[in-house]
């Protein structure tokens, strides 16, 4: 079973090395910023909709609020973000999304 790790970065995320993250198997990285954040999040979440996946939002307060609203995990943008993402992916059971 192939698992996707939908990772949505919202706003300014300065501690994340995109290339290092994208090198991880199954990571689908989405960068969200601007005035239409809700639409951008919805489009990111539609990617791999019928697949087994984990979903996490990364960033500051705005990402935390959006993660709460969407009912998904949030990881704060700190120097430990990579380690926290690896732990999240290792310990979180993927679910199969469907509308």
As assigned by CATH, the class of the 3-94 domain is: alpha beta
- pLDDT tens-digit map of 9-50: 999 999 998 888 888 889 999 999 988 999 999 999 998 778
Closest CA to 55 of 37, 36, 69: 69
Can you give the pLDDT at residue 35? 87
Question: Residue 19 corresponds to which tokens in the numbers above?
Answer: 């290339």
Q: Write down the pTM of the prediction.
A: 0.92
Phi, psi of 15 (to 5 degrees): -100, 5
Domains of the chain by residue range: 3-94
Give the phi and the psi of residue 18 in degrees, each rounded to 5: -55, -45
Burial class (CB in 10 A: 0-12, 13-18, 19+), 2: exposed
pLDDT digits (tens, 9 = 90+) for 52-93: 999 999 999 999 999 999 999 999 999 999 999 999 999 999
């Amino acid at each position: 079973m192939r698992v996707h790790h939908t990772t949505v970065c919202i706003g300014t995320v300065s501690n994340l090395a995109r290339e290092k993250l994208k090198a991880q198997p199954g990571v689908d990285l989405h960068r969200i910023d601007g005035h239409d954040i809700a639409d951008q999040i919805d489009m990111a979440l539609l990617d791999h909709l019928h697949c087994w996946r984990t979903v996490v939002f990364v960033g500051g307060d705005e990402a935390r609020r959006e993660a709460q609203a969407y009912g998904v995990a949030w990881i704060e943008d700190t120097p430990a973000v990579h380690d926290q993402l690896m732990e999240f992916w290792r310990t979180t059971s993927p679910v199969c999304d469907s509308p």
